Amino acid sequence: MKRFRQATLAIMIGSLAAINSSSAIALDNLPDLGAPDLVEYDRQTEERLGRAFTESLMTQFDLQEDPEILNYIRQIGYKIAGNSGQNRNFDFYVIRNNTINAFAGPNGVIGVHTGLIETVHSESELASVIAHEIAHVTQQHLSRTYEYNSTQGSITSFATLLAAVLVGIYNPNAGMAALMGGMGMNMQDQLKNSRQHEQEADNVGIQILHESGYDPHAMGDFFGRLAKSSQFNAHQVPEILRTHPVTLSRLAAAENRAQVMPPLKVPVESNDLILIKMRIAAEKEDFSKLEIKSLTASEQCYLHNLQELNRKQTEKQLRQSRAQLDCLLREASENTMQPLYNTLLIERIKQFKERNSNADLKQPISEALKLISYQQELWPNNLAVQLRHAQLLELTGEYQKAMQVLADGSEKGHNQYQINNYLAQFAREQNKEALANYYQARAQVFVGNYARARHFIDEAKRINNQRNEGIDKQIDFFNAKYTQNLQENDQKEVIQ
């Protein structure tokens, strides 16, 4: 099968369609599953499909890499996944896309659009969508769809199912037609199957939402509000409702499910969601979805500093924004349990140092370093805290400590891909090209892209031999650890 070269993204049947409908896809440009004749959906198949799925995300889609935004979604996702009752891996990604959408892919890959984050009214609503997608995975809806059609004698290859799902990303109606045409299915059977999966994802999603400490009514509230706002305009229906049709019976079932949950005192939500919405808005310089008048003084300070960070400034304008930096320093010092203030403070310090190396930043640097060290101990897997800590150490000339902070993060948690990429960036800034390629190889392994991992580790070895950077042991250990994966990839390359 040909390698995945166009913007393609396999999503689970019944999950939320992604990307815009004007795009096109050729059915022969499918992910490389490792074998063209897969006819059983087993664990190995799911893992292969998951690697191809992830590779397409990493190479073809506009992923949101802001560590604060990514960490926020992952915190919610892993909290919910931890209550799913299954010991399996999940990976969470954020897509820069204004549409109100999310999706679940094979092997526990979950994606959330920035447009969804901007639209929800609470963290519980955002968590409810993520819980629904996690339920699609835990209930094995993709494999069950495949197995159901296999028993009907209407499918000869897993590629048929995959092709139909790929088409459905861009055009849900065309995807359904391809699914039924390729599998000999009739409309009644497919709709029945889809409705059953949606109902089950609602029921299981509300259950794990409640067990994770979120408001179980949030799912019905969110979908009901979207449906009501679009009922008089068929051309403005959010993407999330096109593949999750909301009916009165479905909303009633969701409310009934929430009502039978044991009493739960939902804790007061932090302002994480508000600050994250600000980051999304500031990046694209569009604040129309923010309720600015309702912001507290603390939140206004955060917003003003974000605006300064994303504004192209002269050195004079930057100096004039020092009052905002001092405001943020006060907020970071007073809100020690809210690391988003301190990580933005470090971003602003970095901005000042890069544009005015003579700026007097002794006090903000000292306070930020003290806070970030404390926060690193509290949240050792917080991607934003890890990165900003390393950036601040680098600014103060403590390069080895900075690398160690990242290296510690690369050995644990769920952020290995991002952390290893940052390590590669830091190494390159120090003109250590062999080491940079080594870390890039590590990053690619964690997303299952063994072809690129092979390229980077070979480059690391070549450059190390030329420059004698002294990373022979790291390269040998890498090759030994991933020998089987790399060899399997090499064999596939020969076959192709």
Of 436, 459, 451, whose CA–CA distance to 482 is shortest?
A: 451
As to burial, measured by CB atoms within 10 angstroms (0-12 exposed, 13-18 middle, 19+ buried), residue 243 is buried
Of 280, 367, 356, whose CA–CA distance to 331 is shortest?
A: 367
Residue 91: beta bridge partners? 109
d(CA 144, CA 356): 59
Structure-token pair, residue 143: 């494999």
Is there a catalytic annotation at residue 408? Answer: no
d(CA 146, CA 130): 23
| 327-362 as b/e: b if 16+ CB within 10 A | bbbebbbebeebbbbbbbbbbbbbbbbeeeeebebe
Asked if residues 338 and 271 have their Cβ atoms less than 8 Å apart, the reply is yes
Residue recorded with tokens 């495949």? 146
Q: Give backbone dihedrals phi and psi of 109, rounded to 5 degrees, phi first.
A: -90, 120
Q: Could you say which of 32, 133, 198, 299 is catalytic? A: 133
Residue recorded with tokens 């990046």? 283
CA 182, distance to chain mean position in Å, is 31
Q: For residue 484, give the H/E element and its range.
A: helix 483-495
d(CA 59, CA 172): 23
Of 11, 12, 134, 16, whose CA–CA distance to 82 is shortest?
A: 134
SS (H, E, C) 383-407: HHHHHHHHHHHHHCCCHHHHHHHHH
Q: Could you say which of 68, 118, 202, 215 is catalytic? A: 202
d(CA 238, CA 226): 8
Strand order in the sheet with 91-95: 91-95, 109-113, 102-105
Residue partners of 477: CB distance under 8 A and separation at least 6: none
Please tell me whether residue 422 adopts helix, strand or coil conformation: helix
Name the DSSP letter for residue 404.
H
Q: For residue 71, give the H/E element and its range.
A: helix 67-81
Q: What's the full length of the chain, in residues?
A: 496
d(CA 154, CA 145): 12
Asked if residues 347 and 388 have their Cβ atoms less than 8 Å apart, the reply is yes
Is there a catalytic annotation at residue 133? Answer: yes
Active site residues: 133, 202
